[in-house]
Structure 1
């Protein structure tokens, strides 16, 4: 459907500034974002990111006065039991740290804007753990997957992917065919029923639609106040002000806590952060003069097109392929050794692209597919670790959610970083590592499912050529 037709009869958005959102925020509050891969930081700037969640790590982050801290869980690459345990650990640490810092925590479960991930597992576990730890059990669970910066919007409860002016229900896109987290419904109410296997019927999911949101924050607060406890709420959003209105309403409902399952953009709206301009090349610090390292792990069609365009625009760039099948059999060690030496040598003369073979190898079920994905990702991590030891690159770009998480926490050993901002408007996050062997190496988290065909090439040009 043409997006202009889809939006034609909607009321006009509210005029609501980031300043007005901030004016509603309890100064003691802090948002703890459990990010199931690092791509949730794309729209924000100047916020801390942690890849570890000891109490001391969170206390140090809270002590800065930050309105939000991202904790990288990487749960999208984990099985359900491990994902649940990790969520529980982070809640326990965050509540302990918040008590000592006299901060009031709002928990956000950051999921994929194309609806892939451990839902309802993660929101269920968070709600249970908050209550078990003596916190106030969330009264509502709000689902806000919209990511307008990347063309994801929700209208009348239906979530769409917008490309070149055409809005496609997300259940009809390649993302819905994910081997581990696939789904069939684009209407968030039916999607909740599908994902909960009928435990929460679609008829019990409330729809916070744009006609209510664009009537203003008071109307939204009235709508939410009238809902029974334990209600799941599917939230419409087309632009930033829609999410700001919802944020103001939630800040005013201080007697009813909400648990949030959101795409990347909502956190920016919730903390009243301005939409920041992309980071400029001249503001990026570099510690090394070698070429940069571009690591591509995602297999979605958009990533493959972006990789093809990068190679087309930079035909002299060395490309090194990791053979997926060799990474998962007894040829792994020899293959990694040979490939790492080739990458390190090529970095002396320019940027190097490393990508896994484009063949998508899956298992007989979701668990086996996830295990294969983990083994492939660990191979990518080991390659980057070996290259870093031999020839630290000028920058590192990691393409794909699981890839970027594992490269950050395992290969580059980033325990904490600062989000400098997006590389492109609202998308593609630039991190500044604050400790470990990657200090001085700008790290770019590039989701597999965002941008245009030339977006990867544009980011490489900024970092490699300063333009």
Structure 2
């Protein structure tokens, strides 16, 4: 694919989207892991969805907020039940606050997650409350990390080339693997034929860049009965152009549920790409008298390479939770790891990780069960370490790991996303309640950055 052959970008400033947000629905991002926050700043995050928490988020002067559902780590029936519970709480809170909501199911830019289950659940709940879901906007792009959709095909940018997503390691995921790179065919595959590829509407770069908001509006107002709309995205301007048309169609009475990657969050909230957090802000958040704790649960190859580069750049104590030992004698193994990590934190950086070999079950359900047991052990270990010796910061590596550490280890229920530590990736949360209040919490997806990114983040945290 030759980028030179693409139509010229149609510039759409973020300010134009912000202007269009006046009177628009507040969007709640049901985030299936915490990494959707890494493209934005100054938005609320909830990890508990009691109505009073949602009302707090709705009272903030923002275009939207996150609710961390962590559904990517759950079995399908459990994910559906959680989505219903969260969406019900949001609708109840919105009614009490007199606010209209739009729902986004924020998931993985490499297409791993429960689809179309999660958008189906939201659509069913909207219908129960007298609403409708005219369409599902499918926009998984993450432009900062080189995940783009061109010609209806989803691509990953590697150092050598653009690679179709189905040819990547992510497509071989033990739980959410897939065969199709063209999103219309991926929808048919994931819906097991319930939705045919021919039924999917594709907004191509030709439509977005050569058209107008009105022409896109006309396409979207013709969507009904929950049809899926795939949005091509090579640049943030493409998404902002689509968002303007979506907002226009919603003002005309249409209702969409969004299934999106991180870049759509930025576009839909009217934010532009921002530089990383300033050193002065970071210095005010990090306790330089204490050492940091890095928690690693991700098993993708990039994470392993990032750990290796971190070791080349600085000394740290690596405390490893062996997966086989965890499955056989969890209590003993966790106690030993906690004691080792607590002692090491007095003197320097500690990396608490699961063993790098990926242990799979005989089928999807068994693989999920193993992943949950290992994640629970890691969460317990981190919580005990932090309670015994509070670190200067906590970095969580891996999407599900980040969620489990935030909720299970640190007890965060409300936080603010303060921005990224690297351009467009790796977000810093400031907890505003609970035992971790004021402890810098860094959410670092397993599959973003280059081999030096983890070391670069630690450098920033330790030298500000």
TM-score using structure 1 length: 0.96
Q: How does 1:141-290 map to 2 (within 5 A)?
A: 141-214=136-209, 215-253=211-249, 254=251, 255-284=253-282, 285-287=285-287, 289-290=289-290
Q: How many Å apart are 1:23 and its aligned residue? A: 1.1
Q: Which stretch has the larger CA shift, 119-128 or 269-278?
A: 269-278
Matched residue, 2:379? 381
Three-state SS of the structure 2 residue aligned to 1:96 is: helix
Structure 1 unaligned segments of length 5 or more: list them. none
| 1:335-355 superposed Cα distances (whole Å, 9 cap, x missing partner) | 111111111111111111111
2:110 is equivalent to residue 111 of structure 1: no
Q: How many Å apart are 1:286 and its aligned residue? A: 2.5
2:31 to 31, 35, 40: 35
Q: How many Å apart are 1:440 and its aligned residue? A: 2.2
| 1:10-44 superposed Cα distances (whole Å, 9 cap, x missing partner) | 11111111110111124352110000000010101
Q: Contact 1:28–1:102 (CA<8 Å) still a contact in 2?
A: no
Write the distance in 1 (CA, Å) between the matches of 2:262 and 2:213.
21
Write the distance in 2 (CA, Å) between the matches of 1:211 and 1:222.
15
| 1:45-95 superposed Cα distances (whole Å, 9 cap, x missing partner) | 000000011111111110122211100000000011111011111111111
Matched residue, 2:308? 308
| Number of positions where the alignment pairs a residue of Structure 1 with one of Structure 2 | 459
Write the distance in 2 (CA, Å) between the matches of 1:287 and 1:100.
39
Structure 2 unaligned segments of length 5 or more: list them. none
Q: How many Å apart are 1:233 and its aligned residue? A: 1.0
2:318 is equivalent to residue 319 of structure 1: yes
Matched residue, 2:127? 131
Q: Contact 1:288–1:393 (CA<8 Å) still a contact in 2?
A: no
Q: How many Å apart are 1:107 and its aligned residue? A: 0.2
Matched residue, 1:358? 356
Q: How many Å apart are 1:102 and its aligned residue? A: 1.4
Q: How many Å apart are 1:168 and its aligned residue? A: 0.3
Q: How many Å apart are 1:287 and its aligned residue? A: 4.3
Three-state SS of the structure 1 residue aligned to 2:442 is: strand
Matched residue, 1:84? 80
Q: How does 1:455-466 map to 2 (within 5 A)?
A: 455-466=453-464
